[in-house]
Amino acid sequence: MARSKNIAALHAPVVAASTAAVLVAAALGGCGEDAAPRVTSAPGAPSPALRPTASPLCEPLRSQVTGRVRTPAATELSGLVASRRQRRVLWTHNDSGDSARVLAVTPAGRLLAEVALAGAENVDWEDIAVGPRPGGGDALYVGDIGDNDAVRGEVAVLRVDEPRVPAGGGLRASAPATRLALRYADGARDAEALLVDPFTGALVVVTKSFDGIAGVYVAERPVAGATTVLRRRGRLSLGGGDAVTAGDVSADGRTVALRTYGRVVVWQRRSGEPLAATLRRRPCVARRDLFGEGQGEALALTAGGRGFLTVSEGRRPPIRRHAPAGRVGAQ
């Protein structure tokens, strides 16, 4: 379960850290927008490239509220992802304390489906992703990766074939989930961001820490029925007080984004590049302050990575779409 946080109190140290990071970015030829996090490599990894990325998400952004999640089932939404095969379908879920279920909603917030994950448990669900399904097609990957006190011997990602949602909604169903058990090579960690490589199915977990340092951990080939080791492949330096709360990869695999309580950092992935290698390069920072949204722990990229959606915790939370001016409705 995510601890309650005073978002306004977090804002001050992040602003101070951002100022220093901008100077670093400028000196190294970085993006220049807001705070560009410094990126360091894991031991033995190649040095990160310092060339700036070019993403439309780092142009000036406009935001609009597309609707509010109206179902009483949504109480503490902690993950969000856009379906890649079903138009205008967003998958989401609650944090710990809820049953093991995922919800499908429209961008306007209308409930389309409630799907129980048979045989699963919601210990501390923190993020959701779409990725390749063994045998073809898409699966939902739910990250049961929260661990506030860093005491869990293993965490898990739950994989379930993406359910087909009727056009009129109203689906209430149950679907079997496959549990992919994970263990950190260097001890328990708290995390809220899960990425799934759309090409290889590798799982990437980015840890959460309020000291501003996030670890990038990878499980290349997780299998059911065994515990797969998460190995550290890099670190992100975000500045004191900032913490990663969600992430996503666009459907075409080219755009990678992580969010914190107040901002979104973005990478443009190179052809054939592992996700961990992408995260070792310098990102740009989306020109949108998210602190005003309240406690935000969810992010979904649009299909082409030219926009992103966010939703905060609480009852009837608004869904917001963020995109460059003139492209608010862009995919």
Percent pLDDT > 90 in the chain is 72
CB 57 within 8 A of CB 264: yes
CA-to-CA distance for 232 and 157, rounded, in angstroms?
17
Interior CA angle at 290 toward 240 and 197, to 5°? Answer: 80
* Predicted confidence (pLDDT) per residue in 133-165, tens digit: 999 999 999 999 999 999 999 999 999 999 999
Exposed e or buried b for every residue in 222-251, given b needs 16+ CB within 10 A? Answer: beeeeebebebbbbbbbbebbbbbbbbbbb
The CA-to-CA distance between both ends of the chain, in Å, stands at 32
CA 209, 243, 282, 312 torsion: positive or negative?
positive
Encoding tokens for residue 132? Answer: 């390749």
Average pLDDT, the chain: 85
**Section 278-286 average pLDDT:** 94
Q: Which of 5, 59, 63, 3 is nearest to 261 (CA)?
A: 5
pLDDT tops 60 at residue 21: no
DSSP string, 170-189: -EEEEEE-EEEEEEETTS--
Q: What is the predicted pLDDT for the residue at 156? A: 98
Fold of 7-324: Neuraminidase (2.120.10)
pLDDT (average), residues 298-307:
95
State pTM to two decimals: 0.86
The domain ranges of the chain are: 7-324
C-alpha to C-alpha distance for 90 and 309, rounded to whole angstroms: 10
Residue 314 CA to residue 75 CA, distance in Å, equals 5
Residue 29 has pLDDT above 70, yes or no: no
Q: In sequence order, what DSSP letters do the residues of 154-175 get, joined into one string?
A: -EEEEEEEPPPPPTT--EEEEE
Residue 11 · residue 262 · CB < 8 Å = yes
326 pLDDT band, cuts 50/70/90, is: low
Whether residue 43 is predicted with pLDDT greater than 50 in this model: the reply is no
What distance separates the 2 farthest-apart alpha carbons in the chain? 54
Q: Distance of CA 255 to CAs 67, 73, 88, 105, 250, Å? A: 25, 31, 20, 23, 5
